[in-house]
């Protein structure tokens, strides 16, 4: 990745809700820029759009497109009574968590609406008829093993040779965090189809062989 590429974001990234470290976001920005000559980018798990701003800004710079897949009903940990529940994102009318309004607001503020395509659906539904080759897939969806496996199996096969797979929240030590992202990271390496490029905090970056 080109570490010299200047990070240019159109808004204060700290104003966007999310769980991405600055160093991880900067790595995603550079990665999306590098991947743009291989095909469009796709992320699973947009939430309020923090990672989307990093990825989408790089796509805008390179005149590329980012597909942002998320059902916007939150993962297990975002539900009422759970550790990461945010009352501001709970829709009292439907009695469901809904991050899509915040996501759209942030995309508009970041001037990314012409480069980010929201796909508001569960990952398995979004992938059902997908045929577009991808230069980058970023997985940051649900952290249950079922959800992580679905994300990996649905999307990794669409990455072109030389393209990238990035996985967030990799914790080799179970005491530090959930193991599902680490499990699919190990699965990708064991497949023989990917090689590790770099680890940036909890972000694993792999290249398709």
Q: Which residues are catalytic?
A: 143
Q: Strand pairing partners for 96?
A: 91
Closest CA to 115 of 44, 1, 204, 32: 32
Supply angle C-alpha 69, 154, 13, rounded to 5: 30
User: What are the residues whose beta carbons fall under 8 Å from the beta carbon of 36, sequence distance 6 or more?
Assistant: 58, 59, 62, 63, 64, 135
| Euclidean distance between CA atoms 124 and 153, whole angstroms | 9
Is 21 in contact with 51 (CB distance < 8 Å)? no
Residue-by-residue DSSP string for 48-95: TSHHHHHHHHHHHHTT--EEEE--SS--GGGSTTSTT--GGGEETTTT
């Amino acid at each position: 990745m080109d570490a010299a590429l200047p990070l240019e974001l159109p808004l204060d990234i700290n104003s966007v809700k999310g769980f991405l470290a600055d160093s991880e976001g900067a790595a995603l920005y550079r990665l999306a820029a590098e991947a743009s000559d291989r095909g469009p980018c796709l992320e699973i798990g947009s939430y309020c759009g923090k990672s989307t701003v990093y990825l989408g800004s790089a796509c805008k710079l390179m005149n590329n497109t980012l597909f942002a897949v998320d059902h916007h009903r939150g993962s297990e940990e975002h539900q009422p009574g759970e550790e990461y529940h945010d009352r501001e994102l709970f829709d009292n009318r439907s009695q469901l968590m809904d991050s899509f309004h915040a996501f759209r607001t942030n995309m508009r503020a970041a001037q990314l609406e012409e480069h980010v395509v929201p796909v508001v659906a569960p990952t398995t539904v979004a992938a059902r008829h997908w045929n577009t080759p991808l230069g980058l897939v970023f997985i940051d969806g649900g952290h249950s093993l079922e959800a992580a496996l679905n994300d990996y199996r649905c999307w990794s096969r669409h990455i072109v040779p030389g393209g990238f797979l990035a996985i967030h929240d990799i914790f080799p030590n179970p005491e530090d965090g959930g193991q599902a992202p680490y499990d699919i990271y190990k699965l990708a390496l064991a497949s023989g189809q990917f090689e590790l490029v770099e680890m940036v905090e909890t972000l694993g970056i792999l290249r398709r062989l």
